[in-house]
Amino acid sequence: MNKVIPIGLIIAGLIVVIAFTLGIKSTRTIDWEESFNEKSNKPYGVSVFYKELPKLFKNQKIRTVYHQPASYLTANREDGYGDHVAEGSFIIIGNSDYLEDDSVDELLNFVGAGNTLFISDYYFSQKIHDTLDISVKYIKNTKDSISYHYFKHIDIDTVNIDKNEGINYFSSFDSINYSILGHTKIDSSLVNFIEIPFGKGKIYLHTEPKAFTNYNLLKEDRYKYVEGLISYLPENNIYFDSYTKIQTGYNGDVEKESNLSWFLEQLSFKWAWYMALIFGLLFIIFNAKRRQRIIKTIKPLQNTTIDFVKTISNLYYETQDHKNLIDKKITYFLERLRVDFNMDTTTLDNNFIKKLALKTGKKKDDIKKLINYINWLRTKNEYFEINLMQLNRLIEAFYLK
């Protein structure tokens, strides 16, 4: 055993050296997946925007919707079963094409009642395209990976967004009733932000969701562009869509992250965690034979007689069979007197009371009260719960005193 410990220490030392070497040479891989997840700190997550919503809409309620809008808005309308009536602005960043038709209908009803819908996505649900009579096209960026975005009515400098292989824009829409709010361009200016009146409310559609991501909000002054987009929304409660972000990433794969995912992305912590696991495993291996086997605890046999009696008595009590229960209590009590005090219980008279008082050392009046009550019960044909309770109290008093 003494030889095993040095070998274990040598192996552990080699593991530490190898882990340290790999840790120095390893490079962190950046995940550029466009998840648009409000909990993701990756470049194309939207956690920064999500955390800034309470500052952008002060004194307003910010609610995160983890359900399909159809079920959520149905539950939280005037005749629904939710905890409030949904009123305000519904915001969807990316993945809107995963919305089901009934959810689109419910969102349109929500807007028609005087609320606001804001969607920023490359394309929209086919139901939205058909209902609002809009078309979106894609144009490839042939020069570089930069696109430019600016507003029509807001005095904010043009914002450039890099890592864009192309842009999406509105190729057709009702130019008479819909308002153009913003443009994008690579070579020429194209519409990418429109306002659509719908019922008593308004719908805002935008075709560059990457503007809301962590990467762009934290780079230069690009946050001003997002502030301009959000400035069109009224000061009201915000409903932030999270359902589609939980269900799927933009490439259609389910986004699964453990609670340790962020920590494991930190190189130093990752190797510290792995080494802790390795050392723990080595400790278990080298100490397993030195530990005494656990002695199994053998529980003593339980006396189930009392439990049985309780069960039977409860059964009689629940069925309201007071006569049967009273007879059994009297029989059991007299049997105890015969066994414990060698008493003849054939005749319960004054002579019996005197003998029992002498043998037990209890007061004659208390014993007389109990025996007289038993004799009285034996003369009755009908019993009530109060008779059973009185008998029980007298018997218990006999054993206590």
The CATH number of whichever domain residue 146 belongs to comes to 3.40.50
Please give the pLDDT value at position 255.
38
Pick from 277, 289, 294: nearest CA to 5: 289
C-alpha to C-alpha distance for 151 and 24, rounded to whole angstroms: 47
Pick from 53, 83, 79: nearest CA to 237: 53
**Which structure tokens are listed for 90?**
């519904």
Range of the domain at 343: 305-400
Please give the pLDDT value at position 275.
82
**pLDDT surpasses 50 at 257:** no
C-alpha to C-alpha distance for 230 and 95, rounded to whole angstroms: 19
Non-local CB neighbours of 283 within 8 Å, separated by 6+ positions: none
Least confident of 102-106, 193-197, 295-299: 295-299
**Which structure tokens are listed for 136?**
């979106």
- Asked whether residue 28 is domain-assigned, the answer is no
In this predicted model, which residue has the larger pLDDT, 257 or 273? 273
**pLDDT surpasses 90 at 186:** no
DSSP 294-332: PPPP-PPPP--HHHHHHHHHHHHHHTT-HHHHHHHHHHH
C-alpha to C-alpha distance for 353 and 279, rounded to whole angstroms: 79
**Of 37-46, 308-317, 319-328, which has the strongest mean pLDDT?**
37-46
Please give the pLDDT value at position 263.
63
Task: Count up the domains in the chain and report the number.
Answer: 2
- Asked whether residue 135 is domain-assigned, the answer is yes
Residues 223 and 325 occupy one common structural domain:
no
**Dihedral sign from CA coordinates of 142, 146, 147, 150:** negative
Please give the pLDDT value at position 204.
98
Residues 65 and 188 occupy one common structural domain:
yes
